[in-house]
Amino acid sequence: MAAEGVPLCRLLRVNEDGSRDVELTRPQSEPLGIFFSKGRETKKDGLVVKSFLDKHAKKLFAGILRVGDEIVEIDESDICPLTLDEVKDIIQQKERMVIKLCPL
């Protein structure tokens, strides 16, 4: 469980294709501290990490989640065909999730 008011992030595995499985845990009813945009022409049209809420949030995710990383799955479900709002709704409903990231 996340410390009070602090999201947690941990690397679970690096896959053969270079993608990473990362567990994210956020405090109940608190923001994750990450801003996203939808899609990228050169990748799979997932959710791209655009920026972090502040320097503190950036430090929490350092070494695991970077600006430009693309989320293509949440809990083993492909999010590429979903809209940005649909993906945000999924994230807001979960306190814990495993995401698949494709690096920059």
Return the higher-pLDDT residue of 41 and 72: 72
Task: Identify the H or E element spanning 96.
Answer: strand 96-102
The pLDDT value given to residue 4: 56
pLDDT computed for residue 70 by the predictor: 92
Q: Residue 90: CB partners within 8 Å, gap ≥ 6?
A: 74, 79, 82
98 CB-side CA count, 13 A: 10
DSSP 8-state code for residue 50? E
C-beta neighbour count of 17 within 10 angstroms: 8
**What kind of architecture, by CATH, is found in domain 8-102?**
Roll (2.30)
Query: What pLDDT, on a 0 to 100 scale, did the predictor assign at position 92?
Result: 86
Model pLDDT for residues 48-99, shown as the tens digit of each residue: 999 998 888 888 888 899 999 999 999 999 998 888 889 989 988 888 999 9
Calpha distance 13→16 (Å, rounded) = 10
pLDDT at 83: 87
Q: What three-state secondary structure class fits 59?
A: helix
Report whether pLDDT(44) > 70.
no
Q: Is the pLDDT of residue 11 over 60?
A: yes
